[in-house]
Structure 1
Amino acid sequence: MVIFPIIITISLVLWVYYKVAILRSNDKLTQAYFNAKSRICLGSFVFFFAINQYIFYETKLSLFIGIILLILGAMQLNLGFKETRHYRNEWKRLNPDS
């Protein structure tokens, strides 16, 4: 399964990208929006890492750890999507001409 390492690598690179973009931005709304995007990337990293590790090892211990990581990753993804939607709508509300 080559797809999971590709997704893991892309999500990790995007997480670093958004974290650096937060440092480069001065606008608090933009920083919050990028932080929400980075939360999505972190959640997808943890989620797919858990799946990949269970497929690789297939033990009971990796199953239990994988379930915990799946739950944590799904929670990060869910919160990231909600925050992204909120901050995107807030930005559109404050900048109606853009």
Structure 2
Amino acid sequence: MPTLAILIVISIMFYFFYKVKSFRTKAPAEKSWINTKANIAIGNFLLFFGLNQIFIYYNSTITIIVGSVFILLGLANIILGYRAYRYYLPIAIEEAAQNKER
């Protein structure tokens, strides 16, 4: 499935982009907010990788189990990352407004 391979590459690129952006950010709330985006991106990577494994090697039981574990871990990262994203977004906006006033 070339579509899943493209999504895998895009999601890992977003992960590295957000990790580098996080290292370059000084503000703590903004850093946490960007890290949650990286968490969502790595969750997408795990999800797409697990789906790709299941679609390509669906004959092996072990591959289906490992792919299912990747899918579950990816979904957990996406869900928990989104919750953290919603939590840190207003804090990061407030922090940016305070830094702008200075």
**Partner residue of 1:22?**
22
Of structures 1 and 2, the larger Rg is shown by 2
Measure, in 2, the Cα distance between the counterparts of 1:88 and 1:71.
25
Please state how far the C-alpha of 1:67 moved relative to its aligned partner: 1.1
Measure, in 1, the Cα distance between the counterparts of 2:18 and 2:24.
10
Identity %: 27
Whether 2:73 is the aligned partner of 1:72: answer yes
TM-score by length of 2: 0.88
Measure, in 2, the Cα distance between the counterparts of 1:91 and 1:24.
15
- The one-character-per-residue Cα deviations of 1:52-98 (angstroms, maximum 9, x if unpaired) are 0111111211110011111111100001101111111222344389x
Alignment RMSD, CA only?
A: 1.5
Measure, in 2, the Cα distance between the counterparts of 1:91 and 1:20.
18
Please state how far the C-alpha of 1:2 moved relative to its aligned partner: 1.6
TM-score by length of 1: 0.91
Measure, in 2, the Cα distance between the counterparts of 1:60 and 1:75.
23
Determine helix, strand or coil for the equivalent of 1:26: coil
Segments of structure 2 that go 5 or more residues without pairing to the other structure are none
Paired residues in the alignment total: 97
Segments of structure 1 that go 5 or more residues without pairing to the other structure are none
Determine helix, strand or coil for the equivalent of 2:42: helix
